[in-house]
Structure 1
Amino acid sequence: MEQISTERLVLRLATVDDANFVLELYNTPDFLQFVGDKQIHDVNDAKIYIEQKILGMRVSKGVCLLVIESKADSKPLGVCGLIKRDELTAYDIGYGLLPKAYGFGYAIEAAKAVISYAKAKEGIDELVAITTSDNFASKKLLNTLGFNYIKVQSKISDTIDLLLYQLKLTDNETHSY
């Protein structure tokens, strides 16, 4: 994954220059609650995370999260891209936005662009997504994008489950999870 462009957005590779942005995003209350604490506590941690996790996945799996930037001002708004988890057979779409970017349709615009990228890439016939049962915004986004709920992937607590969603990109048979 290199760069994807939409009407209002550019999705591009992260660089260590994005460390302040990654530090901010990954420590927002919603990110911590719904994605988890990635132990990014300072700019150096963010640089290491970008190099080892985001760009490392690109090297090892050919996909990664991309930084979502506004074309209007080149400011980072969030991340969106494909993730390849060893425990899942399909590629996973991932996303997260800064709270100031909520409500403008950026998540759906970026996610649709990533889905189009996946459709054009040979060997990707479906995508999956995981979200928590209490993340209503994410569940709404996945439904809007055409993902179907498959199952509870795991229990997080007595009241919260990790949910698995799937989007078929072709008419081929899908995997069972």
Structure 2
Amino acid sequence: MKVTETSRLVLRLVEETDAGFIMKLLNEPGWLQYIGDKGIRTIDDAKGYIMNVPRAMYEREGFGLYLTERKEDHAPIGLCGLIKREGLEDVDIGFAILSDHQSQGYAYEAARATLDLAKDIGIKRVVAITTKDNESSSKLLEKLDMQLEGYVTLPNDTEELKKYGLNF
């Protein structure tokens, strides 16, 4: 089901049938380096991730990570959406694009649409977290007018992350 769209992209709910794509995305070097290894090695692992992460968040919060696909060919290229996670008071935005599709403006386009969606559903503030060495994500967050507010360490983790914020 489509949630929102841009001129080039559709953001839609993640379905179990997207398991092959999810397995590929979650094992990309950039995902592993900057987001972390989620232990997704099989299609069944990917289906479990879909049900326990984005689908569970849709049920619990009414939003979550959305599959981002190109309109022209319906090819899935990434995930982008809103996350309510332990350790952050506010909803945060998350995004990941397959390496083959990076540096083409897709992440910005999907993230901008996601921020517009957040505002439309009544969210007053969105934050974002990223590793200190993830320069491309930091630049994208700044391009979205998000301001660096400091640093945060999430529960059950030891890495200090950059925290950005945006009030609507």
> TM-score when scaled to structure 1?
0.90
Secondary structure in structure 1 of the residue aligned to 2:89: coil
Change (3 A) 1:118 1:13: same
> Runs of 5+ in structure 2 lacking a partner?
none
**Structure 1 residues 56 and 3, CA, compared in 2 at 3 Å: closer, same or farther?**
same
1:57 correspondence with 2:57:
yes
CA distance in 2, matches of 1:49, 1:136: 27
Query: Where does structure 1 differ by over 6 angstroms across 4 or more consecutive aligned residues?
Result: none
* Partner residue in 2 for 1:110: 110
What is the CA deviation profile of residues 20-65 of structure 1, one whole-angstrom value per residue up to 9, with x for unaligned ones? Answer: 0000000001000100111111110000100111100111121110
Q: What pairs with 1:34-113 in structure 2 (closer than 5 Å)?
A: 34-113=34-113
Report if aligned partners of 2:129, 2:164 keep a CA contact under 8 Å in 1: yes
Map 1:108-147 → 2, pairs under 5 A: 108-122=108-122, 124-147=123-146
The 3-state SS of whatever aligns with 2:58 is: helix
Identity %, equivalent residues: 42
CA displacement 1:138-162 (0-9 Å, x = unmatched): 00000000000011113977xx731
| Amino acid in structure 1 at the alignment position of 2:135 | F
Aligned residues: 166
Q: Which residue of 2 aligns with 1:11?
A: 11
**Matching residue's letter, 2:163:** L
Q: Secondary structure at the match of 2:153?
A: strand
Larger Rg, first or second structure (1 or 2) = 1
2:17 match: secondary structure: helix
Q: Which SS does the other structure have where 1:14 is aligned?
A: coil
